[in-house]
Amino acid sequence: MLIKDEISFDEFDDVINPRNEDNGFDEVVEGAISRRGFLSAVVTVGAGAFLMNNTGLTKVARAVVDPFGFEAVIANSEDTITLPPGYKWESLIHWGDPLWSDGLEFNPETRGTAASQARAFGDNNDGMSLFRHEDRHLMVVNNEHTNRSIIYGNRTLGLPVNSDDVNKGKAAHGVSIFEIQQNSGGWSLVKDSPFNRRITADTEMEVSGPAAGYDLLKTAVDPTGTKSLGTWNNCGNGETPWGTYLACEENFNGYFSSSDPTLEIHDAFKRYGISVIDWGYGWAKEDERFDISKHPNEPNRAGYVVEIDPRDPTTTPKKRTALGRFKHENAEVVISAGCRIVVYMGDDERGEFLYRFVSDDTYSADRDHSDLLNKGRLYAARFNEDQRGEWLALTPEATGMSEAEICIHTRMAASAVGATTMDRPEWVAVNPNKVEVYCALTNNKHRGRKANKGGDEMPAGGPNPRKKNLFGQIVRWVPNNQDHGSDQFTWDLFAMAGNPLTSEGDKAGSSNITADNMFNSPDGLAFDDKGMLWIQTDGNYSDEGLFEGMGNNQMLVGDTTTGEIRRFMVGPKEAEITGLCWSSDRRTLFVGVQHLGQKGNSSFPGGGSSVPRSGVIAVSPEDGGLIG
Ligand code: FEO
Ligand code: CA
Ligand code: CA
Ligand code: CA
């Protein structure tokens, strides 16, 4: 079977393991997403705030009355970055830029070699963080994946043709760590900084936590089951209170294949989308550990959260198996009222689950933190129709699985306890000023039509109320007792994305979605220190049909008190906007621009006939003021 070049990861999983349509589901619960329903309180104030923005007040005056501090950007389909009046952007780094002075500058003819890529910024950047270390600024960026049509655009079919091509692809994945500095010309990379580092699909990792050393993790080259090689498909990220970075392994499955095409795929592999064919990179042809007929336990060593210390380039990254194995989106870390470490995590696949980890030990800044993410309990969320919810503990008693198995086959453990199947949970973000949590549920075309890969039904209802959900929504929950450690919460929907101009009933979205801010497929989420919610999209950029008026993928800001949402940025053609972090003085916002031109229609940032190159841009007010 030939996998079409730029098929997305979720489409790939559908192709290799299609689910039958199930006709037994109820229709959409009438009124569950009514534009006058439970979001009405959110909207009334929001509409007033929006009007206030158009009164012509100066930026300074608006800052007093307007929590946004910028004018809304109009949707468009341009091949550039569009920002509010008074804001500018500059490129910080793009795919193929060398981190060291002995590296080769990006070559648009060859698009790099394995050797040049290993010394350069990876491709398709996603989650990122900026750390202060002494007087330095250290940036850590996930390089999630790569588009074959672009990275192999020098090959006739846009596919790897030799060993060097495959190794270039492996080196374009992983994590890039580099120092940046600011001078009168703006922000720039510090080449040759002692902190610069590339972590790729071949970097040695330590496997830690309850699954370390378990039989399912042992391989021919690592009979201890404690040392794996590499991390790939790192999507969103997280930061710990002790200053380390968390890289989250998402669609790890699409890199494995079998040299024996008749190999029988067992249920655990099916649940995680592992099959005899890969997503098109051909890694198994050059590196036998990706051949599941020869190394059947290798896929069990991927799909984790990886902890990296950006301040010490000699440290070995640690895979934290206690945080579970699934298609990790990001890892939002917060401290509970009882000083335990709580990590909220989404599993981005149709009908998979939302998770929470709670550490056994308590956090204190002056104590050793090396074991905090190794010992604790995983929970999966159940959302009830009455807008209450609970965290279901994934214990051996509740799941019938050992502690190690729960960490490796986490999806099955969550199915066993009856967690709620969700509309592809992407990033989770905790409000720094309130005890409340938000998660982007990006879309789910199978909602109300098919079961998930484990056979769990996906009826429309609760926080996933729309059948055949093409637009997505943002759910929020408030833990009981103002404590992220509580096992109970209440929930509502902050926004139901949609097109308010359509007359097709459930597609209009919630009342805080207007003709001026509409979007689809919310994905990246992060709060600024004012408590404003930044929303990034990864969706349909056709600007046609139901998506007409949404333009390219974009970034918006939500006021979680009033419900108002305002567009801040529009990205270039065919790009996803993903990953963001602020400079410590909040005068610069770093934003990721990923897989632009994935269908051949972008030349960003170079313009003309340039090769499109994913990258990080630095956004700042022209007057040197604060963002927002
Ligand atoms: Fe890599 Fe779910 O986004
Ligand atoms: Ca994402
Ligand atoms: Ca996405
Ligand atoms: Ca992506």
Question: What are 247-256's pLDDT values in tens digits?
Answer: 999 999 999 9
**Closest C-alpha residue for ligand 1 atom 1:** 235
Q: How far is ligand 2, taken at its centre, from the CA of residue 342, in Å? A: 21
The whole-number pLDDT of residue 408 equals: 99
The whole-number pLDDT of residue 628 equals: 85
Closest CA to 236 of 597, 553, 577: 577
pLDDT tens figures, 210-224: 999 999 999 999 999
* Residue 368: burial class (beta carbons within 10 Å; 0-12, 13-18, 19+): exposed
Q: Residue 515 pLDDT > 90, yes or no?
A: yes
The whole-number pLDDT of residue 307 equals: 98
Q: How far is ligand 3, taken at its centre, from the CA of residue 426, in Å? A: 7
pLDDT tens figures, 593-610: 999 999 999 999 999 999
Q: How far is ligand 4, taken at its centre, from the CA of residue 80, in Å? A: 19
Reported confidence tier of residue 30, pLDDT bands at 50, 70, 90:
very low
| Contact 13 CB / ligand 1 (< 6 Å) | no
Q: pTM of this prediction? A: 0.94
The whole-number pLDDT of residue 14 equals: 87
Looking at the chain, how many residues does it have?
628
The whole-number pLDDT of residue 147 equals: 95
| Contact 506 CB / ligand 1 (< 6 Å) | no
pLDDT tens figures, 450-493: 999 999 999 999 999 999 999 999 999 999 999 999 999 999 99
Q: Residue 35 pLDDT > 60, yes or no?
A: no
Structure tokens belonging to residue 272: 């995680």
Reported confidence tier of residue 504, pLDDT bands at 50, 70, 90:
confident
Instruction: Report the share of the chain in percent with pLDDT over 90.
Output: 89
Q: Residue 2 pLDDT > 80, yes or no?
A: no
For tokens 């500058």, what's the residue?
105
**How far apart, in whole angstroms, are the C-alpha atoms of residue 87 and residue 333?**
31
Q: Residue 130 pLDDT > 90, yes or no?
A: yes
Residues 6+ apart with CB under 8 A from 135: none
Closest CA to 432 of 335, 344, 353, 340: 335
**How far apart, in whole angstroms, are the C-alpha atoms of residue 155 and residue 148?**
10
| Contact 329 CB / ligand 1 (< 6 Å) | yes
The whole-number pLDDT of residue 62 equals: 44
Q: Residue 49 pLDDT > 60, yes or no?
A: no
**How far apart, in whole angstroms, are the C-alpha atoms of residue 237 and residue 259?**
33
The whole-number pLDDT of residue 5 equals: 59
pLDDT tens figures, 38-47: 443 333 222 2
The whole-number pLDDT of residue 528 equals: 97
**Mean predicted confidence (pLDDT) in 48-52:** 27
Q: Residue 23 pLDDT > 80, yes or no?
A: no
Q: Residue 177 pLDDT > 50, yes or no?
A: yes
Q: How far is ligand 2, taken at its centre, from the CA of residue 235, in Å? A: 6
**Mean predicted confidence (pLDDT) in 531-557:** 98
| Contact 249 CB / ligand 1 (< 6 Å) | no
* Residue 285: burial class (beta carbons within 10 Å; 0-12, 13-18, 19+): middle
Q: Residue 175 — left, alpha, or beta (φ > 0 → left; ψ -120 to 50 → alpha)?
A: beta
The whole-number pLDDT of residue 39 equals: 43
The whole-number pLDDT of residue 10 equals: 86
The whole-number pLDDT of residue 15 equals: 87
Strand partners for 227 = 206
pLDDT tens figures, 363-386: 999 999 999 999 999 999 999 999
Q: Residue 172 pLDDT > 50, yes or no?
A: yes
**Nearest atom, ligand 1, residue 329 CA:** 2
Reported confidence tier of residue 242, pLDDT bands at 50, 70, 90:
very high
Q: How far is ligand 2, taken at its centre, from the CA of residue 65, in Å? A: 33
**How far apart, in whole angstroms, are the C-alpha atoms of residue 175 and residue 144?**
8
| Contact 423 CB / ligand 1 (< 6 Å) | no
Q: Residue 560 pLDDT > 50, yes or no?
A: yes
The whole-number pLDDT of residue 20 equals: 78
Q: What is the residue-averaged pLDDT of the chain?
A: 93
| Contact 576 CB / ligand 1 (< 6 Å) | no
The whole-number pLDDT of residue 27 equals: 43
| Contact 235 CB / ligand 1 (< 6 Å) | yes
Cα-Cα-Cα-Cα torsion 149, 151, 155, 157, nearest 10 degrees, comes to: -20
| Contact 250 CB / ligand 1 (< 6 Å) | yes
Reported confidence tier of residue 268, pLDDT bands at 50, 70, 90:
very high
Q: Per mean pLDDT, which range of 23-27, 66-70, 170-174 is the poorest?
A: 23-27
**Mean predicted confidence (pLDDT) in 547-559:** 98
Residues 6+ apart with CB under 8 A from 465: 28, 29, 32, 33, 493, 496, 506
